[in-house]
Amino acid sequence: MKSKITKTSIVGILVLVLLIATIGMAIYYTKPKMANPVLNNQLGGLDADIKTGLVDINEEQIIELQKAVDRGHQPWRLDPLMVAKAEGQKYGFSATDTFALEEIRTSDSVARVKVLHNKKIYFVTLLRPVLSSGKADIWAIQKIEE
Protein backbone atom coordinates (compact mmCIF):
# COMPACT_ATOMS: atom_id res chain seq x y z
CA MET A 1 0.00 0.00 0.00
CA LYS A 2 1.37 3.41 -0.96
CA SER A 3 1.19 6.29 1.46
CA LYS A 4 -0.01 9.61 0.25
CA ILE A 5 1.33 12.94 1.37
CA THR A 6 -1.65 15.06 2.11
CA LYS A 7 -2.05 18.68 3.05
CA THR A 8 -3.04 17.55 6.52
CA SER A 9 0.17 15.54 7.01
CA ILE A 10 2.31 18.47 5.77
CA VAL A 11 0.55 20.85 8.17
CA GLY A 12 1.03 18.34 10.99
CA ILE A 13 4.76 18.08 10.26
CA LEU A 14 5.13 21.89 10.13
CA VAL A 15 3.29 22.24 13.45
CA LEU A 16 5.59 19.63 15.00
CA VAL A 17 8.73 21.42 13.68
CA LEU A 18 7.49 24.77 15.01
CA LEU A 19 6.71 23.23 18.39
CA ILE A 20 10.19 21.71 18.65
CA ALA A 21 11.80 25.01 17.60
CA THR A 22 9.75 26.93 20.18
CA ILE A 23 10.69 24.53 22.97
CA GLY A 24 14.38 24.72 21.95
CA MET A 25 14.32 28.52 22.01
CA ALA A 26 12.61 28.54 25.40
CA ILE A 27 15.27 26.24 26.84
CA TYR A 28 18.11 28.27 25.30
CA TYR A 29 16.89 31.62 26.59
CA THR A 30 16.01 30.44 30.10
CA LYS A 31 19.07 28.37 31.01
CA PRO A 32 21.91 30.14 32.86
CA LYS A 33 24.65 31.38 30.57
CA MET A 34 28.28 30.49 31.18
CA ALA A 35 30.59 33.47 31.53
CA ASN A 36 33.26 33.89 28.92
CA PRO A 37 36.36 34.35 31.11
CA VAL A 38 38.61 35.40 28.23
CA LEU A 39 36.21 38.09 27.06
CA ASN A 40 35.51 39.25 30.62
CA ASN A 41 39.22 39.55 31.39
CA GLN A 42 39.82 41.53 28.20
CA LEU A 43 37.01 43.90 29.02
CA GLY A 44 37.49 44.00 32.78
CA GLY A 45 33.96 42.65 33.19
CA LEU A 46 32.20 41.46 36.31
CA ASP A 47 33.77 38.00 36.22
CA ALA A 48 37.30 39.30 35.74
CA ASP A 49 39.82 38.55 38.45
CA ILE A 50 41.93 41.45 39.59
CA LYS A 51 45.62 40.70 39.23
CA THR A 52 47.28 41.84 42.45
CA GLY A 53 50.93 42.19 43.40
CA LEU A 54 53.91 43.99 41.97
CA VAL A 55 53.68 45.09 38.36
CA ASP A 56 56.63 44.57 36.04
CA ILE A 57 57.67 47.98 34.74
CA ASN A 58 59.33 47.76 31.33
CA GLU A 59 62.04 50.42 31.37
CA GLU A 60 62.31 50.71 27.58
CA GLN A 61 58.56 51.12 27.22
CA ILE A 62 58.48 53.74 29.99
CA ILE A 63 61.21 55.75 28.29
CA GLU A 64 59.30 55.67 24.98
CA LEU A 65 56.06 56.69 26.73
CA GLN A 66 57.88 59.56 28.48
CA LYS A 67 59.26 60.73 25.12
CA ALA A 68 55.75 60.63 23.63
CA VAL A 69 54.38 62.71 26.52
CA ASP A 70 57.28 65.15 26.17
CA ARG A 71 56.19 65.60 22.51
CA GLY A 72 52.64 66.38 23.65
CA HIS A 73 51.03 62.96 23.17
CA GLN A 74 49.03 61.08 25.82
CA PRO A 75 48.90 63.88 28.40
CA TRP A 76 46.64 61.72 30.59
CA ARG A 77 49.79 59.82 31.65
CA LEU A 78 50.65 62.86 33.82
CA ASP A 79 47.60 62.20 36.03
CA PRO A 80 47.89 59.18 38.37
CA LEU A 81 44.12 58.78 38.58
CA MET A 82 43.78 58.64 34.79
CA VAL A 83 46.68 56.17 34.54
CA ALA A 84 45.05 53.92 37.15
CA LYS A 85 41.77 53.98 35.19
CA ALA A 86 43.34 53.35 31.78
CA GLU A 87 46.18 50.97 32.64
CA GLY A 88 44.17 49.27 35.39
CA GLN A 89 42.03 47.56 32.75
CA LYS A 90 45.05 45.38 31.91
CA TYR A 91 44.78 43.99 35.45
CA GLY A 92 41.03 43.36 35.48
CA PHE A 93 39.52 46.69 36.47
CA SER A 94 36.60 48.06 34.49
CA ALA A 95 35.88 51.56 33.25
CA THR A 96 32.71 51.38 35.36
CA ASP A 97 34.65 50.79 38.61
CA THR A 98 34.96 53.68 41.05
CA PHE A 99 38.44 55.22 41.22
CA ALA A 100 39.46 57.82 43.81
CA LEU A 101 42.85 59.47 44.34
CA GLU A 102 43.88 58.81 47.96
CA GLU A 103 47.22 60.61 48.07
CA ILE A 104 50.17 61.95 46.11
CA ARG A 105 53.50 62.04 47.92
CA THR A 106 55.77 64.52 46.19
CA SER A 107 58.69 63.56 48.42
CA ASP A 108 59.12 60.16 46.74
CA SER A 109 56.83 60.61 43.68
CA VAL A 110 54.30 57.97 44.75
CA ALA A 111 50.52 58.11 44.37
CA ARG A 112 47.81 55.84 45.73
CA VAL A 113 44.40 55.26 44.12
CA LYS A 114 41.49 53.49 45.80
CA VAL A 115 39.34 51.36 43.50
CA LEU A 116 35.93 49.86 44.22
CA HIS A 117 35.45 46.77 42.03
CA ASN A 118 32.50 44.38 42.58
CA LYS A 119 31.97 45.67 46.13
CA LYS A 120 35.62 45.02 46.97
CA ILE A 121 38.25 47.68 47.63
CA TYR A 122 41.68 47.62 45.99
CA PHE A 123 44.61 50.01 46.21
CA VAL A 124 46.73 50.88 43.20
CA THR A 125 50.16 52.33 43.93
CA LEU A 126 51.72 54.38 41.15
CA LEU A 127 55.14 55.94 40.84
CA ARG A 128 57.05 58.19 38.52
CA PRO A 129 59.71 55.85 37.12
CA VAL A 130 61.47 58.57 35.09
CA LEU A 131 62.42 61.60 37.11
CA SER A 132 63.63 64.34 34.83
CA SER A 133 64.44 67.83 35.93
CA GLY A 134 62.10 70.50 34.65
CA LYS A 135 59.82 68.14 32.70
CA ALA A 136 56.44 66.63 33.42
CA ASP A 137 56.98 62.99 34.38
CA ILE A 138 54.57 60.16 33.63
CA TRP A 139 52.98 57.83 36.19
CA ALA A 140 53.08 54.03 36.04
CA ILE A 141 51.38 51.36 38.14
CA GLN A 142 53.81 49.79 40.61
CA LYS A 143 51.49 47.42 42.50
CA ILE A 144 47.89 46.46 43.16
CA GLU A 145 46.72 45.33 46.60
CA GLU A 146 43.47 44.24 48.22
Residue 69 lies in a domain: yes
Beta bridge partners of 126: 111, 141
Q: Break the chain down into helix, strand, coil percent, rounded to 5.
A: 40, 20, 40
Please list the alpha-helical segments (H only) found in the chain: 7-30, 37-43, 59-70, 80-87
Q: How many domains does the chain have?
A: 1
Q: Report helix, strand or coil for 128.
A: coil
Residue 75 lies in a domain: yes
Q: Which stretches of the chain score pLDDT less than 70?
A: 1-3, 11-12, 14-48, 133-135
Residue 21 lies in a domain: no
Residues recorded for the chain: 146
pLDDT confidence of residue 136? 86
pTM, entire model: 0.66
Range(s) of the domain holding residue 74 = 50-145
